[in-house]
Structure 1
Amino acid sequence: MAASLRGTNALSARITSVLSASYADLDIRSALETLDDRDVRNTAETRRRLRLDVQKEVIQCNGEIVTDFGEVAEQLKRIGSAITSLNTFCDEMRSHIAAANRETEPALEEATSLINNRKQVETKQQILTAFNSHFSISEEESTILTSTAEPVDEDFFQALTRVKKIHHDCQVLLGTEDQRLGLEVLEQSSKQINAAYQKLYRWIQREFKTLDLENPQINASVRRSLRVLAERPTLFQSCLDFFAEARENILSDSFYAALSGSTSDHQNLNINPIEFQAHDPLRYVGDMLAWAHSTTVSEREALEVLFISEGDEIKRSIQAGLESEPWLRGEGDEEVFDGKKALNQLVSRDLTGVARLLRQRTEQVIQSHDDATLAYKIANLIGFYKSTFARLLGADSEVLELFNNLENSAMRQFRASMRDHIAAVQSDLAVAPADLSPPDFLEEALQMLKVLAKSYDTSAAAAESSGDGFQVVLAETLDPFLSGCENLGKGLQAPGCDIFAINCLLAVKDVLSSYTFSADRVREMVDTINEHTAKLVEYQHQYLTYTSGLSTLLEALSGISDSTDSLKTIPEQTAFKPDALVNVSQQLDEFLPSALIDAAENLKQLQNRKTVQEITEEAAGRFCEDFEFVESKMLAADDLLYKESEEDEEEQSPALRDLFPRTSGEIRVLLS
């Protein structure tokens, strides 16, 4: 029972083991494949011999392996002997190599040292080559830069630019410990630069001698040379001085040729000289001034191409030159270079010779003529060109001093001639004309004044000022003659003195009223005329009152007030007695029909009929006012007398109105 139980358990364990085995295991699969290759059948005999066969095969395989290892051992022995031999040969080679090394070591060290030295030499050679290429120029470039035989062209400017760069880069060399090389290069480059600027300076001077300013296509190299030379302000200014002197001589010769038709070396030119074709002195001066103005415009346009077109470059160059030569800088914060100002100054200097000749010829014309009108016209012409040149060359141009002197000289001649003329006229002054018209000397003065006013009106002074400049002319050409007329008028009786004054002033006013620049003087004359007119009005008023008899009544009423007591005294006045008042009334009636005609006859010598009418009408109006005053007083007195007579019941005396019947309305109608 127990045995069966154990057999059952063993079988169960066997079955469990078989069932738990994984047929995916590689070993099991390999064993199964081996069994399948041998075609083993699952029999008892086969199962019994299988183990033996496997063990036999394993033993055979192990034997073969041992045999193979024996052969390997033999081979290893032979390899060991070969290695031993090789070691022996290697030891021998090492001994030979060590001996060779001991023998070749000095040579190798020397070769290494030579190679290192070679590398250092090559490095130094590269440094030297780079230094020479950057800090030195070739002999050819040095010749181009300093030799006067070589032209100033693009190669020159390129060489100069390179040398200036070398000079600038020397600062790097001066920053090293050993400054000797930097100082040597700096000294050499400075000499080369100075020589180059000297060459450029002389070349520009030669070009200036033959430079044709009339050609609009001025050589561009001259402009570039000036810009470069500006880096040396001293040389640049010296060049400008040389140029100004050369141009002064050229323009002086040209002006002399334009005047006389021949040059200073007596070479005749095929032109019409100004001295021969300008017979009138004013035209002669005008032609000279016109030539000077035309030449100035041409000169300025030509020089503008040289300076203004390169103005900024020249300014920067001069600034750079002043930074390198600070001792040339002036005091203050003045501008380094003003192209337009420099241009105006240069043109002014070019015209110095022309100005000298112009002054000589113009002063000769002024002093050789005693005509005051001509002198004043010349002064105005010079003033016109002075303003023109001021706009062209600036207000601080030296040329303007010439025009100031010439203008003053012409005005001095004008004043002298006028004073001589006034002195001659004053000796002939006697009495005013019988018809009280303006005297002949005033008419002559007014004719001259018309010419002078017209000349001033066309001048630049009339447009630039409010007429102050013409006051000088009036003081010289008009005031003395008006003073003479005033002296003549003092010898006349009224109203002749006022009539004569008004005639003279109206004649002057007619001449000056056409010009705006004499408006102030015209207003002064109008005020003076009004003063004389007021005197004539007063004269006419007195004439009307005395002729009509009204003056007697006015005198009697002068002390009468508006009070009742004062008004009552009017009939008691001598002038208001019946007989006297009737006589005045008759005189008034005789006066009224021809009153205005008789009054106008007093002013018949006054040449302005309108003024005569205005004066007479104003005097008549004042006469009417006086009559109204007298009438009002008489009516007031009549009213008082009428009231008293009614209260006293006395016989009433005749009324003043009855004795003096004219009314103010009738007077105004008759005198209108």
Structure 2
Amino acid sequence: MSASYFSERPTPVSQDGFTPASPALGTPSRGANALSSRITSVLSASYADLEIRDALETLDARGVRNVAETRRQLRLDVQREVIQCNGGIVKDFGAIAEQLTRIGTAITSLNQYCAEMRSHIAAATRETAPVLEEATGLINQRKQVETKQQILSAFNSHFLISDEESTILTSTAEPVDEEFFQTLTRAKKIHHDCQVLLGTEDQRLGLEVLEKSSKQINAAYQKLYRWIQREFKTLDLENPQINASIRRSLRVLAERPALFQNCLDFFAEARENILSDAFYAALTGSTSETQNLATKPIEFHAHDPLRYVGDMLAWAHSATVSEREALEVLFISDGDEIKRSIQAGLESEPWLRTEGDEEVFDGKKALNQLVSRDLTGVARLLRQRTEQVIQSHDDATLAYKIANLIGFYKNTFVKLLGADSEVLELFSTLEGSAMRQFRANMRDYVAAAQSDLAVAPTDLSPPDFLEEALQMLEALAKSYDTSIATVDSQEDGFQSVLAETLDPFLGGCENLYKGLQAPNSDVFAINCLLAAKAVLSPYSFASDRIIEMGDTIGEHAAKLIEYQHQYFTRTSGLNNLLEALSVITDSSESLKTIPELDTFKPEALIAASQQLDEFLPSALIDAAENLKRLRNRKMVQDITEEAAGRFCEDFEFVESKILAADNLLYNDEPEEEEPAPGLRDLFPRTSGEIRVLLS
């Protein structure tokens, strides 16, 4: 745009015909300098300047052409436009001034109106101030009344029980249900929260509420106590719903330990009567209302004393298990809650606590005690019937079986009711009575048996009184083994039985043993001990006595071995040689004297050799014949073999002495002389031959 503007500019021509660039003739040099400075300023101007650019853009927007007329009128046009713009501005400011004048007038009017309103408001305020003050006071009083009404409502709802709730809590006509327990819980909470009221300055209200709530709570516990007593009279232990209500009632009543204990006493008495009637019905087949039962009565088997006593004990055990399982729900499942309730009751009534009570409530112990008390009537009747059975029979075996049966059930009841149960005293008494009867019967039997003692049987077998005693002992051992319950006391418990049933008869056998000659005495003793050992061997609780018998049998067997050994040496003729060699030592001088002994002279030694040869073929058979009345054939063989072995050792000793003597004699004789016959030639049997013949 600027290029076209400068390109279209014609060279201006002045009015006098000269161009501006060419100085007029005769013009001083100052004009030339001015023109030069003008040109210099124009050329030095920066066309990048924003003002020049804006000016050029304005000229371009106006469509100004670079002609002489336009250049002459440009300033005028610009000034005219500036004047026109200033006129428009003045005109606009005139309109604004007019508007401001009207606004000022309006403001003045508004100020007047505001002043009037303030005066009216001040007058109204002066007139209404007393009314507002009175209204404010009334509003504050209303708020205070509402606050007091809320406090009163909250107090009534929290600290007072309505008449309907009081009726539910104290009236016996109302049932003991969920609503009763909720109301009782609320009453106890009111009683507990009265501590807040007692902490205020005016304690009268707290004392009144506390007294009223205490009376209501006590009446509620009395109602609950009487209700539980009524329920206990007809309590069906098999009904889970009744059990649930009774459990909850007992848990709540436990907060009054005295009432709770009275309930337990009443319940124990009621259950004692019920179980006693049930036991009597099981015994006789009819109840107190003369109603016959479908099952056969226990007395139907009274002719069998053991079964009769066993049925009674089994019924008592079954009743105890059923009673415990039924009552376990009452005390074990809620035992911790009952314990906490009793603890709370003792804290509220500390005078009920006795000295030394560390355990407030033990559910398991209370259950065992209650079951024991329930069985008191049954135990009394059981004791009467059992003692009648024990005292009416003089059979020692029967008395002991009854004692074992009672002991078995005693251990069973210990597991059921604990070692401190009162019922166990019954079993201890009955067991002691049966054992006393057993000992008395056994003493009578022993006295009768001892009067019949005469001599041992000719076949040296156990006498009849021992056989009968062992039969009785076997029956007693079986009874003890099947009825005993504790392993630790088995052996100690059976020692008294052995002392009564075995020792007196073994003592009688010992008296017969003393009247026999060897080896019959030892054979008889072993036969008796083997018979007793055979009876006791199957039972581990008689292990000590079996070991003791085995040692005694070993002593008698040792005597028989010695007897057989003497028989071998005496019958074979070796005994004379052994007696002669008993003074010979191992020295050469002593050994050289053997041929000089009477028993080792040729005639005597030949006779001894012949006697030995005659003995050996039937030695074992002849020796076994001595023990033929010993009932244990293996023991006969073992004793004979042991004696034969010792005989072989004796023969080896004699042989060694003979050989040693011969060696010394051969060494002393001259070589050119013919040796005389030695001891070995006269006694040719070797120890190897002897062992073969006696094996």
TM-score relative to the length of structure 1 = 0.83
* Structure 1 CA distance for aligned equivalents of residues 125 and 608 of structure 2: 177
Structure 1 residue 624: Cα displacement: 1.3
* Structure 1 CA distance for aligned equivalents of residues 334 and 517 of structure 2: 79
Q: For residues 592-616 of structure 1, give each alpha carbon's deviation from its aligned partner in whole angstroms, at most 9, with x where no partner exists.
A: 2222222122112112222112111
Structure 1 residues 465 and 605 mapped into 2: Cα distance closer, same or farther (>3 Å)?
same
Please tell me whether the aligned partners of residues 355 and 399 of structure 1 are also in contact (alpha carbons under 8 angstroms).
yes
Is 2:680 aligned against 1:657? yes
Is 2:433 aligned against 1:409? yes
Structure 1 residue 97: Cα displacement: 9.4
Is 2:205 aligned against 1:166? no
* Structure 1 CA distance for aligned equivalents of residues 603 and 372 of structure 2: 94
* Structure 1 CA distance for aligned equivalents of residues 545 and 633 of structure 2: 24
Is 2:568 aligned against 1:568? no
Structure 1 residue 645: Cα displacement: 2.3
Structure 1 residue 438: Cα displacement: 0.4
Q: Residue 659 of structure 1 aligns to which amino acid in structure 2?
A: L
Structure 1 residues 195 and 216 mapped into 2: Cα distance closer, same or farther (>3 Å)?
closer
Please tell me whether the aligned partners of residues 237 and 243 of structure 2 are also in contact (alpha carbons under 8 angstroms).
no
**In the alignment, which residue of structure 1 is the partner of 2:284?**
260
1:480 to 492, 501, 504: 504
2:618 to 574, 594, 608: 594
**In the alignment, which residue of structure 2 is the partner of 1:33?**
none
Deviates more, 1:376-385 or 1:559-568: 376-385
Q: Residue 286 of structure 2 aligns to which amino acid in structure 1?
A: S
* Structure 2 CA distance for aligned equivalents of residues 414 and 95 of structure 1: 127
**In the alignment, which residue of structure 1 is the partner of 2:259?**
235
For residues 50-61 of structure 1, the aligned pairs below 5 Å read none
Please tell me whether the aligned partners of residues 456 and 462 of structure 1 are also in contact (alpha carbons under 8 angstroms).
no
Is 2:576 aligned against 1:552? yes
* Structure 2 CA distance for aligned equivalents of residues 287 and 97 of structure 1: 109
**In the alignment, which residue of structure 2 is the partner of 1:444?**
468
* Structure 2 CA distance for aligned equivalents of residues 616 and 96 of structure 1: 151
Secondary structure of 2:630's match?
coil
**In the alignment, which residue of structure 1 is the partner of 2:668?**
644
Structure 1 residues 95 and 501 mapped into 2: Cα distance closer, same or farther (>3 Å)?
closer
TM-score relative to the length of structure 2 = 0.81
Is 2:161 aligned against 1:140? no
* Structure 1 CA distance for aligned equivalents of residues 145 and 450 of structure 2: 111
* Structure 1 CA distance for aligned equivalents of residues 643 and 630 of structure 2: 16
Q: Residue 425 of structure 2 aligns to which amino acid in structure 1?
A: E
Q: For residues 558-604 of structure 1, give each alpha carbon's deviation from its aligned partner in whole angstroms, at most 9, with x where no partner exists.
A: 11100011111111212112222222222222222222222122112
Secondary structure of 2:454's match?
coil
Secondary structure of 1:584's match?
helix
2:481 to 443, 457, 472: 457
Q: For residues 175-194 of structure 1, give each alpha carbon's deviation from its aligned partner in whole angstroms, at most 9, with x where no partner exists.
A: 22222222221222122111
Q: Residue 274 of structure 2 aligns to which amino acid in structure 1?
A: I
1:584 to 608, 611, 627: 608
**In the alignment, which residue of structure 2 is the partner of 1:604?**
628
2:523 to 491, 499, 512: 499
For residues 321-400 of structure 1, the aligned pairs below 5 Å read 321-331=345-355, 334-400=358-424
Q: Residue 299 of structure 2 aligns to which amino acid in structure 1?
A: E
Superposed CA RMSD in Å reads 3.8
For residues 69-148 of structure 1, the aligned pairs below 5 Å read 116-148=140-172
Q: Residue 242 of structure 2 aligns to which amino acid in structure 1?
A: I
Secondary structure of 1:581's match?
helix
**In the alignment, which residue of structure 2 is the partner of 1:533?**
557
Q: Residue 132 of structure 1 aligns to which amino acid in structure 2?
A: N
* Structure 2 CA distance for aligned equivalents of residues 258 and 347 of structure 1: 19
Secondary structure of 1:218's match?
helix
**In the alignment, which residue of structure 1 is the partner of 2:332?**
308
Q: For residues 152-211 of structure 1, give each alpha carbon's deviation from its aligned partner in whole angstroms, at most 9, with x where no partner exists.
A: 112111111111111122222222222222222122212211111111111101110111
Q: For residues 371-423 of structure 1, give each alpha carbon's deviation from its aligned partner in whole angstroms, at most 9, with x where no partner exists.
A: 11111111111122122222222232222222222222211211111111111
Q: For residues 456-498 of structure 1, give each alpha carbon's deviation from its aligned partner in whole angstroms, at most 9, with x where no partner exists.
A: 2212336554533222221211111111111110011111110
**In the alignment, which residue of structure 2 is the partner of 1:212?**
236
- Alignment coverage as a number of residue pairs: 621
Secondary structure of 2:591's match?
helix
* Structure 2 CA distance for aligned equivalents of residues 613 and 268 of structure 1: 69
Secondary structure of 1:211's match?
coil
* Structure 1 CA distance for aligned equivalents of residues 506 and 133 of structure 2: 126
**In the alignment, which residue of structure 2 is the partner of 1:223?**
247
Gaps of 5+ in 1: 13-18, 24-40
Deviates more, 1:467-476 or 1:253-262: 467-476
Q: Residue 665 of structure 1 aligns to which amino acid in structure 2?
A: G
Please tell me whether the aligned partners of residues 216 and 302 of structure 1 are also in contact (alpha carbons under 8 angstroms).
no
* Structure 1 CA distance for aligned equivalents of residues 533 and 103 of structure 2: 157
Deviates more, 1:532-541 or 1:235-244: 235-244
Secondary structure of 2:420's match?
coil
Structure 1 residues 508 and 628 mapped into 2: Cα distance closer, same or farther (>3 Å)?
same
Please tell me whether the aligned partners of residues 659 and 680 of structure 2 are also in contact (alpha carbons under 8 angstroms).
yes
Gaps of 5+ in 2: 1-26, 39-50, 56-72
Q: Residue 688 of structure 2 aligns to which amino acid in structure 1?
A: G
* Structure 2 CA distance for aligned equivalents of residues 204 and 312 of structure 1: 20
Is 2:176 aligned against 1:152? yes
Is 2:475 aligned against 1:422? no
Q: Residue 669 of structure 1 aligns to which amino acid in structure 2?
A: V
* Structure 2 CA distance for aligned equivalents of residues 407 and 522 of structure 1: 27
Q: For residues 399-457 of structure 1, give each alpha carbon's deviation from its aligned partner in whole angstroms, at most 9, with x where no partner exists.
A: 22222222222112111111111111111111111111100001001111111111122
* Structure 2 CA distance for aligned equivalents of residues 573 and 216 of structure 1: 106
**In the alignment, which residue of structure 2 is the partner of 1:471?**
495
**In the alignment, which residue of structure 2 is the partner of 1:490?**
514
Identity among equivalent positions (%) equals 78
* Structure 2 CA distance for aligned equivalents of residues 95 and 661 of structure 1: 173
* Structure 1 CA distance for aligned equivalents of residues 531 and 357 of structure 2: 60
Please tell me whether the aligned partners of residues 577 and 599 of structure 2 are also in contact (alpha carbons under 8 angstroms).
yes
* Structure 2 CA distance for aligned equivalents of residues 618 and 96 of structure 1: 149
Structure 1 residues 138 and 614 mapped into 2: Cα distance closer, same or farther (>3 Å)?
same
* Structure 2 CA distance for aligned equivalents of residues 505 and 617 of structure 1: 22
Structure 1 residue 265: Cα displacement: 6.2
* Structure 2 CA distance for aligned equivalents of residues 112 and 378 of structure 1: 100
* Structure 2 CA distance for aligned equivalents of residues 95 and 538 of structure 1: 154
Deviates more, 1:216-225 or 1:238-247: 216-225
* Structure 2 CA distance for aligned equivalents of residues 417 and 118 of structure 1: 103
Q: For residues 488-530 of structure 1, give each alpha carbon's deviation from its aligned partner in whole angstroms, at most 9, with x where no partner exists.
A: 1001111111010011111112222222222222222111111
* Structure 1 CA distance for aligned equivalents of residues 694 and 345 of structure 2: 94
Q: Residue 134 of structure 1 aligns to which amino acid in structure 2?
A: H
**In the alignment, which residue of structure 2 is the partner of 1:26?**
none
* Structure 2 CA distance for aligned equivalents of residues 641 and 219 of structure 1: 111
* Structure 1 CA distance for aligned equivalents of residues 605 and 380 of structure 2: 88
Deviates more, 1:268-277 or 1:572-581: 268-277
2:659 to 635, 638, 658: 635
Deviates more, 1:514-523 or 1:615-624: 514-523
Structure 1 residue 311: Cα displacement: 2.5
Structure 1 residue 245: Cα displacement: 1.1
Please tell me whether the aligned partners of residues 403 and 431 of structure 2 are also in contact (alpha carbons under 8 angstroms).
yes
* Structure 1 CA distance for aligned equivalents of residues 146 and 247 of structure 2: 47
* Structure 1 CA distance for aligned equivalents of residues 416 and 241 of structure 2: 23
Is 2:193 aligned against 1:193? no
* Structure 1 CA distance for aligned equivalents of residues 609 and 246 of structure 2: 106
